C-alpha cells in the first residue's frame, strides 16, 4: 500500500478533532450561557437594547497562508414572528490534504422570535463527497424536533433546549466585550450535530494594543477553553472579535469582504499540508511500522497521559505530568471465538445503532448478512466484513461527518468512513464493535487515525483502511467512541510529542 493511501487514513479523525473544536469557537459558538459576574439570559441577554444588524467577515489562515473565511450576518424581519431575528454564518475552508485541494463548507442559521427565544436552527456541512444537515424546530415550551439528514436518510430526535440556549451565536462577542480582566464566563455548549453538551470557560486576561490592518487597537485578551483545548482571542470595547488563535496554527482575523476572499487567489500547492503539519513529531524511527510486533513509546504534551485508554495489548510503563510511556504489542487473531450473535449483556452498548452508525438500517443489515453468509463464528464473520470493507471502499481523502449508510452508498473515504461502515456491519449481525481512535506511525511521524475493534470472546483490533487484519504495534489507542469522544484529541494537536524507546519485529 502506498504511503499516500496510508496518510489519507488519518484525515477524518484530524478533522473531527481539529475542525469541530476550532470552529466551535472560531465559527459557531453553540452555547448554553452559564454564570458570570452577571448572568447571560440566552439571546435576550445579548440583544436587549433593540434590533441588531451585523455583517462581519473574518479571514482564516494557517501558518500565515490564507485558507478560508467566516461570514456572519444578523438581520431583523418583523414580518416573520418566528424569525424576527436571524443569525447566519457561512464558513468556507480550502484545505490541502496530501497535495490535493479539498473544500469544506459549513452553514448555520438560528431564528429567534421577538422575545429572543430560539424557534428554529439549521446546520449544514458539505464537502466533495458527503453532506450532512441538521434542522431543529420548536414544538413546545422547550422541546425541538431535530431532523438529521445524511445521504438521503432522515432521522428524527426530540431534544430539550431551554430558552437560554444559543445554538448559534457570534453575538456572544457582545457579552465578551463587557468583561473585565480577572473575570470568568462559563458557557454550556450544545452541538447540533452530536446533540451533546460541553463546558467552555472564558477568562479575561488583560487589555493590550493589538496590531490590525487599521492600526493598533486596544483589545481585551481572552482565553477560551473547551475539550482541553485553549484558544486565544482579542475583542475590542464594542465586543467586536478582532483575532483568534488556536494552538495548532489556525488564525482568524476581522477584515473587509475582499480581504476574506483573498484565499481564492492562493495556489493550492502554496498552502501547508494540513495532515503533515499537524502530525505528532517523533524522536527515533520505526523501520518497518506495518511489521512492528512490539513498541515502547513515550508521549508528551498530551492531556490524556493521566488517563491512558485501557487496551489489553497496551501496558502503561510510566505516567506523570510530563509524559506517559506505553509498551504496546500488535493485535493477534483470537484463538477461539463465540458464535455470531452471542454476546454478554455488558456488550449491549456496542451493538446499538447511533445517528452515524446505523446498524439497524435495512441496507446495512442486508449487506452485513450477505457478507458473512454462513460464517461459523465471530472471527470468521469479522474477517469477512474486514475483507469486504477493505476491498470495496475506495481509499480517498474525505472531509465529512461520517455516516455508515452514506459510506455504503458512496464506497469512498478515509479511515473514519472505513471504520464507521465496518462497525455498523458488525453490529448489524450481532458482533459488538467499537470505534477506536488514536495515532498510527507513518513516514517518520504519528498521524491521527481511527480503526475498529470487535468482541468475539475477546477484543480484536482490525484496520480495513491500512489492510491489516490485526493492527500492528504502532497503533496507539487513545479513545473509544464517535465524534463526541474524538473531540478530546484536540487537546493534543500541536502539543503532543513522541519518542520511540524500543521496537521489535
Q: Is the dihedral of CA 18, 19, 25, 29 positive or negative?
A: negative
**Domains of the chain, each with CATH number or no CATH:** 27-270 (no CATH), 279-504 (3.10.620.30)
pLDDT of residue 188: 63
> Nearest-CA neighbor of 476 among 494, 499, 505?
499
Nearest to 428 by CA among 354, 331, 334: 354
Burial class for 269, CB neighbours closer than 10 Å (0-12, 13-18, 19+): exposed
The string of pLDDT tens digits covering residues 424-476 is 999 999 999 999 999 999 999 999 899 999 999 999 999 999 999 999 999 99
* pLDDT for res 169: 45
Look over the chain and give the mean of its residue pLDDT values, rounded to a whole number.
Answer: 82
Q: Report the DSSP pairing between strands 433-442 and 250-255.
A: unpaired
123-150 pLDDT tens trace: 888 887 788 888 989 998 889 898 988 7
Indicate the range of 15-29, 264-278, 362-376 predicted with least confidence.
15-29
Would you mind telling me the total number of residues written for the chain in this entry? 505
Distance from C-alpha of 5 to C-alpha of 245, rounded to nearest angstrom: 31
Judged against a pLDDT cut of 90, whether residue 157 lies above it is answered with: no
Rounded Cα distance between 111 and 81, Å, is 10
205 pLDDT tier (thresholds 50, 70, 90): very high
Q: What is the pLDDT of residue 43?
A: 46
Say what the pLDDT of residue 413 is. Answer: 87
> Is-contact 124 136, C-beta < 8 A?
no
Closest CA to 227 of 489, 494, 493: 489
Please tell me the predicted confidence (pLDDT) of residue 432. 97
Residues above pLDDT 90, as percent of the chain? 41
Task: Name the range with the highest mean pLDDT among 39-53, 188-202, 488-502.
Answer: 488-502
Within 10 angstroms of residue 47's Cβ, the number of other Cβ atoms is 20
Helical spans, DSSP H, in 225-322: 257-260, 274-277
Query: Which has the closest alpha carbon to 434: 395, 486, 388?
Result: 486
What gap in Å lies between CA 16 and CA 448, rounded to an integer? 10
Give the separation between CA 173 and CA 27, rounded to whole angstroms.
12
pLDDT at 87: 82
Compare 230 and 137 and report the one with higher pLDDT.
137
Highest mean pLDDT among 74-83, 193-202, 304-313, 373-382: 373-382
Range among 34-43, 55-64, 70-79, 347-356 rated most confident? 347-356
Residue range 279-307: mean pLDDT, rounded: 88
pLDDT in tens, 410-420: 999 889 899 99
Cα–Cα distance measured from residue 345 to residue 34, given in angstroms and rounded to the nearest whole number: 38
Mean pLDDT throughout 299-307?
A: 70
- At 172 the pLDDT is 55
CA 237 to chain centroid: 32
Of the chain, the percentage scoring pLDDT greater than 70 comes to 81
Count CB-CB contacts under 10 A for residue 296.
17
pLDDT tier, 108 (very low <50, low <70, confident <90, very high otherwise): confident
Summarize pLDDT for 28-60 with one digit per residue, the tens.
332 222 222 233 345 445 444 444 567 889 999
Q: pTM of the full predicted structure? A: 0.84
Q: Which residue has the higher pLDDT, 226 or 440?
A: 440
Reply yes or no on whether the pLDDT at 11 is more than 80.
Answer: no
- Which of the two residues, 242 and 179, has the higher pLDDT score? 242
Burial class (CB in 10 A: 0-12, 13-18, 19+), 160: exposed
Instruction: Please report how many Cα atoms fall inside a 13 Å half-sphere around the Cα of residue 266, on the Cβ side.
Output: 23
Q: Locate 261 and state its grid cell.
A: 476572499
Query: What's the CA gap between 505 and 287, in Å, rounded?
Result: 10
Dist. CA 466–CA 451, nearest whole Å: 9
SS (H, E, C) 96-142: EECCEEEEEEEEEEEEECCCCCEEEEEEEEECCCCEEEEEEEECCCC
Which of 73-77, 179-183, 184-188, 218-222 has the least mean pLDDT? 184-188
Amino acid at each position: 500500500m502506498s504511503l499516500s493511501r496510508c496518510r489519507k487514513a488519518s484525515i477524518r479523525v484530524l478533522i473531527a478533532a481539529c475542525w469541530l473544536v476550532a470552529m466551535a469557537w472560531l465559527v459557531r459558538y453553540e452555547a448554553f450561557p452559564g454564570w458570570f459576574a452577571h448572568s447571560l439570559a440566552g439571546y435576550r441577554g445579548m440583544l436587549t437594547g433593540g434590533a441588531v444588524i451585523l455583517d462581519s467577515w473574518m479571514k482564516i489562515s494557517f501558518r500565515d497562508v490564507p485558507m478560508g473565511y467566516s461570514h456572519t450576518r444578523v438581520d431583523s424581519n418583523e414580518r416573520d414572528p418566528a424569525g424576527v431575528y436571524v443569525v447566519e454564518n457561512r464558513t468556507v475552508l480550502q484545505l490541502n490534504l496530501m497535495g490535493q485541494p479539498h473544500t469544506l463548507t459549513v452553514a448555520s442559521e438560528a431564528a429567534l422570535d421577538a422575545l429572543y427565544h430560539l424557534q428554529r436552527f439549521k446546520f449544514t456541512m458539505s464537502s466533495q463527497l458527503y453532506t450532512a444537515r441538521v434542522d431543529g424546530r420548536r414544538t413546545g415550551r422547550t422541546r425541538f424536533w431535530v431532523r438529521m439528514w445524511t445521504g438521503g436518510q432522515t432521522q428524527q430526535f426530540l431534544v430539550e433546549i431551554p430558552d437560554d440556549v444559543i445554538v448559534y451565536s457570534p453575538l456572544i462577542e457582545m457579552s465578551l466585550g463587557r468583561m473585565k480582566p480577572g473575570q470568568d464566563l462559563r458557557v454550556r455548549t450544545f452541538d447540533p450535530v452530536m446533540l451533546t453538551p460541553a463546558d467552555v470557560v472564558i477568562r479575561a486576561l488583560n487589555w493590550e494594543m493589538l496590531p490590525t490592518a487599521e492600526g493598533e487597537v486596544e483589545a481585551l485578551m481572552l482565553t477560551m477553553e473547551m475539550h482541553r483545548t485553549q484558544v486565544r482571542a482579542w475583542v475590542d470595547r464594542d465586543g467586536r472579535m478582532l483575532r483568534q488563535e488556536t494552538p495548532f496554527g489556525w488564525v482568524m482575523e476581522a477584515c473587509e469582504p475582499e480581504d476574506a476572499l483573498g484565499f481564492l487567489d492562493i495556489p493550492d500547492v502554496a498552502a501547508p499540508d494540513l495532515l503533515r503539519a499537524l502530525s505528532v513529531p517523533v524522536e527515533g524511527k520505526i523501520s518497518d511500522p506495518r511489521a512492528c510486533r512490539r513498541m515502547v513509546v513515550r508521549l508528551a504534551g498530551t492531556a490524556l497521559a493521566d488517563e491512558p485508554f485501557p487496551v489489553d495489548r497496551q501496558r502503561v510503563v510510566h505516567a506523570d505530568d510530563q509524559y506517559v510511556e506505553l509498551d504496546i504489542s500488535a493485535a493477534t487473531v483470537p484463538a477461539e471465538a463465540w458464535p455470531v450473535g452471542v454476546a454478554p449483556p455488558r456488550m449491549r452498548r456496542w451493538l446499538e445503532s447511533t445517528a452515524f452508525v446505523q446498524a439497524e438500517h435495512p441496507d446495512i443489515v442486508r449487506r452485513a448478512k450477505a457478507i458473512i453468509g454462513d460464517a461459523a463464528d465471530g472471527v470468521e464473520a469479522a474477517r469477512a466484513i474486514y475483507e469486504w470493507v477493505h476491498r470495496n471502499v475506495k481509499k480517498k481523502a474525505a472531509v465529512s461527518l461520517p455516516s455508515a449508510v452514506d459510506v455504503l452508498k458512496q464506497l469512498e473515504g478515509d479511515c473514519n468512513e472505513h471504520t464507521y461502515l465496518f462497525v455498523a456491519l458488525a453490529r448489524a449481525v450481532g458482533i459488538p464493535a467499537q470505534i477506536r481512535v488514536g495515532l498510527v506511525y507513518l513516514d517518520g511521524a504519528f498521524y491521527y487515525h481511527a480503526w475498529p475493534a470487535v468482541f468475539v470472546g475477546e477484543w480484536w483490533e482490525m484496520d480495513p483502511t491500512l489492510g491489516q487484519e490485526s493492527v500492528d504495534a504502532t497503533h496507539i489507542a487513545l479513545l473509544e467512541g464517535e465524534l463526541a469522544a474524538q473531540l478530546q484529541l484536540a487537546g493534543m494537536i500541536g502539543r503532543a510529542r513522541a519518542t520511540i524507546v524500543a521496537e521489535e519485529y
